[in-house]
Amino acid sequence: MSAYQARFKVWRGDPSGGGLEDFTVEVNDGEVVLDIIHRLQATQVSDLAVRWNCKAGKCGSCSAEINGRPRLMCMTRMSVFSKEETITVTPLRAFPVVRDLVTDVSFNYEKAREIPAFVPPPELAAGEYRMQQMDVERSQEFRKCIECFLCQDTCHVVRDHEENKEAFAGPRFLMRIAELDMHPLDAAAGTGLDRRTTAQDEHGLGYCNITKCCTEVCPEGIKITDNALIPMKERAADRKYDPLVWLGNKIRRRES
Ligand code: SF4
Ligand code: SF4
Ligand code: FES
């Protein structure tokens, strides 16, 4: 395939407003959308703001929406589009725009800070931790997360509902709670922290209606819904409807 000229619509603006601007840019064999954005920056709009670092799908910073779908620009090959197609590139919709394609993703860092860290088992010294391979593999899937926040951006709970952001941590961070809850050495329960209850009551697990949109956009292929959110919902429900837990709560309420 030889070089051709592709039509692009790229969102330009800042918090005060903006809109789509039309461009025609050269495309060569093997290029990805980020290459085209860089060429646009180098040849036509030198002040175009775009965030990127690795160009290898590993830093999670080039997230944007391409034809309305949340994607990594560096991992989206131009060959998936036809030469005639006009390709639209817009910033992540769920987060405030800083400028052009760059958004302020600090919502995610705030949510990350709200989740209590792993609690080391008090009876074991460093180096004495032992885990079944099965347990290692289960959490390993979640550790592949590159924090691109595409799942956070696509989740309908916050995508068009700014008002839900306070009560909802989003799939990436509910997954983090699930990971810690599954960790066989996490001693949070011994400190009085019930991760399932906090997922439900403080981090908005109940808002998730398992549409799996988060899973569909994850560039790491993590099965966020099936392997993290649904199991945690089941465990939270088990706990809620466990007759012994129910009786204990009732007695505690009476005593208080
Ligand atoms: S499965 Fe849950 S967390 Fe994922 S996009 Fe749907 S509502 Fe959001
Ligand atoms: S879970 Fe997937 S989509 Fe979500 S932040 Fe991590 S890598 Fe990105
Ligand atoms: S530039 Fe690092 S993931 Fe795209």
What is d(CA 11, CA 197) in angstroms, rounded to the nearest whole number? Answer: 41
Residue 59: nearest ligand to its CA? 3
Based on C-alpha coordinates, what's the Rg of the chain?
22
Which residue in 28, 2, 40, 21 sits closest to 88, CA to CA? 21
Determine which residue's CA is closest to atom 8 belonging to ligand 2.
148
Q: How far is the CA of 54 from the centre of ligand 1 (A)?
A: 28
CATH number for the domain spanning 223: value is 1.10.1060.10
On whether both 168 and 190 belong to a single domain, the answer is: yes
Phi and psi at residue 230, to the nearest 5°: -65, -50
Residue 206: nearest ligand to its CA? 1
On whether both 111 and 138 belong to a single domain, the answer is: yes
Number of separate domains in the chain: 2
Q: pTM (2 decimals)?
A: 0.92
Ligand 2 contacts (CB < 6 A) are 145-151, 172, 217-220, 222, 224
Condensed to tens digits (0 to 9), the pLDDT of residues 175-187 reads: 999 999 999 999 9
Boundary (domain end) residue, out of 44, 79, 103: 103
First to last CA, the chain: 75
On whether both 133 and 8 belong to a single domain, the answer is: no
What is d(CA 142, CA 176) in angstroms, rounded to the nearest whole number? Answer: 7
Condensed to tens digits (0 to 9), the pLDDT of residues 132-164 reads: 999 999 999 999 999 999 999 999 999 999 999
| Residues 87, 7 contacting (CB under 8 angstroms) | yes
On whether both 159 and 34 belong to a single domain, the answer is: no
Q: Which residues of 150-173 are buried (b: 16+ CB within 10 A; e: fewer)?
A: bbbbbbebbbeeeebbeebbbbbb
Q: What share of the chain has pLDDT > 90, as a percent?
A: 90
Condensed to tens digits (0 to 9), the pLDDT of residues 60-111 reads: 999 999 999 999 999 999 999 999 999 999 999 999 999 999 999 999 999 9
On whether both 239 and 133 belong to a single domain, the answer is: yes
What is d(CA 63, CA 66) in angstroms, rounded to the nearest whole number? Answer: 9
Q: Which atom of ligand 2 is nearest to the CA of 142?
A: 1
Condensed to tens digits (0 to 9), the pLDDT of residues 16-34 reads: 999 999 999 999 999 999 9
Give 66's strand partners: 69, 89
Please give the structure tokens belonging to residue 100.
């052009």
For a substitution probing ligand 2, which of 74, 105, 151 has the most ligand atoms within 8 Å of its CB? 151
On whether both 23 and 95 belong to a single domain, the answer is: yes
Q: How far is the CA of 222 from the centre of ligand 2 (A)?
A: 7
Range of the domain at 204: 106-255
